[in-house]
Amino acid sequence: MARIQFYVAAACAVVLALAAPTLAGDPDMLQDVCVADLASPIKINGFPCKANITADDFFFAGLKNPGNTNNPAGSVVTAANVEKFPGVNTLGVSMARIDYAPGGQNPPHTHPRATEIIFVLEGTLEVGFITTANKLFAKTVTKGDVFVFPRGLVHFQQNRGYGPAAVVAAFNSQLQGTQAIAMTLFGAMPPVPTDILAKAFRIDNGEVEAIKNKFK
């Protein structure tokens, strides 16, 4: 009986080990390529495959140039995910370029479907993430440095230099998903009830309404 239990436990361990890669990112692909047909009316978990494809479907030139950082955050994310770059459909990868004006910030946010790793192109940034135990891991990074943000954890980047900064980010998902914390809570539609936010942040209703007005 003990031997049978051992074999059952071993079999379970093997199954979990084999399943682990699929839990780490997108599901495994079942064919060589599947360029996303973004115009298809079919709704599935992902995107259906386009019938006729060319080399251009696997090419994206959108990360060459800096983006426009003239906005309240002082930063802009240029995505190379499946919605902009259909060739990555089913491949479990995507990229982005993030540009920051002096003092610009990529506000605290999460990616529910991917780990993110950044490579600094230029500038000086303070970057960090917060664990579920509310511990902050932060570091100042400069040109050529690499930093990783674990999947699902709140993280941020802030330009601490006197000039512009930029990074290239990579994700282990074709569509990592992004939830900016402040926008999610104070800019949701329909709105989160004011009294709920007031109690959560220990402020009064008037302060909540003032913050909501900034995210309309």
Residues 203 and 82: their CA atoms lie apart, in Å, by 40
Is 83 annotated to bind ligand?
A: no
Is 109 annotated to bind ligand?
A: yes
Is 111 annotated to bind ligand?
A: yes
DSSP-derived pairing of the beta strands 154-159 and 105-110: antiparallel
Helix and strand totals (H; E) in the chain: 4, 10
Which phi and psi (to 5°) does residue 112 adopt? -65, -20
Q: Is 94 in contact with 85 (CB distance < 8 Å)? A: yes
- Residues with Cβ within 8 Å of 117's Cβ and at least 6 positions away in sequence, in order, are 146, 147, 148, 149, 169, 170
Ramachandran class of 123: left when φ > 0, alpha when ψ lies in -120 to 50, beta otherwise: left
Is 89 annotated to bind ligand?
A: no
Residues 15 and 169: their CA atoms lie apart, in Å, by 32
What three-state secondary structure class fits 5?
helix
Query: Helical H runs in 93-180?
Result: none
Is 155 annotated to bind ligand?
A: yes
Q: Is 89 in contact with 47 (CB distance < 8 Å)? A: yes
Q: Return binding residues.
A: 106, 109, 111, 116, 155
Known binding site for Mn(2+): residues? 109, 111, 116, 155
Q: Which residues are annotated as a binding site for oxalate?
A: 106, 111, 116
